[in-house]
Amino acid sequence: MTVTLTLAEVENLARRALVACNTSEANAASVARSIMAAEHDGIHSHGLARLPTYCEHAKCGKIDGQATPLSTQTGAAALRVDACDGFAHPAIDIGMETLLPLARYAGIAAMAVTNSYNCGVVGYHMERIAKEGLVGLGFVNAPGSIAPWGGTRPVFGTNPIACGVPRRQGPPMVIDQSSSVVAKSEIMVHAQKDEPIPEGWAFDADGKPTTDPKAALAGTMAPLGGYKGAGLAMLVEIMAAGMTGAHFAFQASSFADNDGGSPRTGQFFIAINPDATAGADFEDRFEALFSEITGQTGARLPGGRRLEARTRTEKEGVTFRKALHDRILGYCAV
């Protein structure tokens, strides 16, 4: 059985559940917006499916739902935001208030978010930067799930990297990809549904390929492109944890269970004013590149499926399992 909600109802449900689980109204609103945006784009693994974990972590204290992030400008075009063991989203929101004007003035600015948590879809944050006419780059680390190439013990997270580029017409172009073949949340969704995963997604604890999602969650994720993906994961780890003072992936507690303290992972965002580097015709130059891609039969820009899902969701709403809906309502009644 399924339930269908409007986007506004999804956001309201998420906010209510989080507030009922010891999260402040402001923090809950920030997280709920990102959940709604993920469902809007058809990225269900970062939408309502993630909400029960957020609620559990706020309830048990693994995440401080009442935390107030602290933002400090640490250089002429740099700032550091301490999430204070709370949700990443409100920390990023506060940091954006300084990051965007700094980037416009200085040409480029960087934001380091530390003592943080899962920030959801990284592309969501990059699109926010790009909507302001800036180019955004995002590096985010996660608890260990990828082994170094040739190893079996996880050292890196799935470590997504994302980029947002403004366009003259329509929504920004957004690239958002993990350093693994798929995001770990995709395997978690398969495990929840008791469905096998495709070959090539993950390895078991002995380093052998597996199609069992539970064995995959106990093992390691396959890096994107073999050793090159492992290298990309390390690059992101350096930027998201090394450059922010956050926990490295192998030091962070899991996003998936209630064990351990706060994961204290990190995010590192860069905002660039293309006027300062490419000149006033930057949008025309971007469009020349984009047209060269879309002009080829069968080719599409990154994020095309996400935008198609966005249009479809606006017409049809968000449909998900009734069991998940009932579980979320249970949190609202706490």
Name the packing angle between helices 122-130 and 88-106 (round to 10°): 30
Q: 5 near 324, Cβ under 8 Å?
A: no
Q: How far is CA 327 from CA 9, 179, 186, 334, in A?
A: 16, 31, 20, 11
Q: How far is CA 242 from CA 146, 196, 246, 334, in A?
A: 17, 35, 7, 39
One pLDDT digit (tens) per residue for the chain, 334 residues? 999 999 999 999 999 999 999 999 999 999 999 999 999 999 998 999 999 999 999 999 999 999 999 999 999 999 999 999 999 999 999 999 999 999 999 999 999 999 999 999 999 999 999 999 999 999 999 999 999 998 989 999 999 999 999 999 899 999 999 999 987 878 888 888 889 999 999 999 989 999 999 999 889 999 999 999 999 999 999 999 999 999 999 999 999 899 999 999 999 999 999 999 999 899 999 999 999 999 999 999 999 999 999 999 999 999 999 999 999 999 998 6
Whole-angstrom distance, CA of residue 238 vs CA of residue 114: 13
Which of 39, 127, 132, 186 is an active site residue? 186
Whole-angstrom distance, CA of residue 153 vs CA of residue 144: 9
To the nearest 5 percent, what fractions of the chain are helix, strand and coil? 45, 20, 35
For the question of residue 125 being annotated catalytic, the response is no
What the chain holds in terms of domains, given with CATH numbers, is 1-60+303-334 (1.10.1530.10), 73-180+223-301 (3.30.1370.60)
Whole-angstrom distance, CA of residue 155 vs CA of residue 148: 7
How is residue 158 written in tokens? 């799935």
| pLDDT, tens only, 121-138 | 999 999 999 999 999 999
Which of 40, 44, 46, 190 is an active site residue? 46
Whole-angstrom distance, CA of residue 16 vs CA of residue 314: 22
For the question of residue 247 being annotated catalytic, the response is no
Q: How would DSSP label each residue in 149-186?
A: TT--S--B----EEEEE--SSSSPEEEEE-SBSS-HHH
| pLDDT, tens only, 130-168 | 999 999 999 999 999 999 998 989 999 999 999 999 999
Burial letters for 251-266: b for 16+ Cβ neighbours within 10 Å, e otherwise? Answer: ebbbbbeeeeebbbbb
SS3 261: coil
Which of 24, 30, 34, 45 is an active site residue? 45
Q: How far is CA 290 from CA 165, 167, 168, 280, 304, in A?
A: 11, 10, 12, 18, 12
H or E stretch at 65:
none
Q: Which residues contact 228 (CB under 8 A, 6 or more apart)?
A: none
Q: How far is CA 199 from CA 148, 172, 182, in A?
A: 20, 33, 11
Q: pTM to 2 decimals?
A: 0.94
Rg (CA), the chain: 19
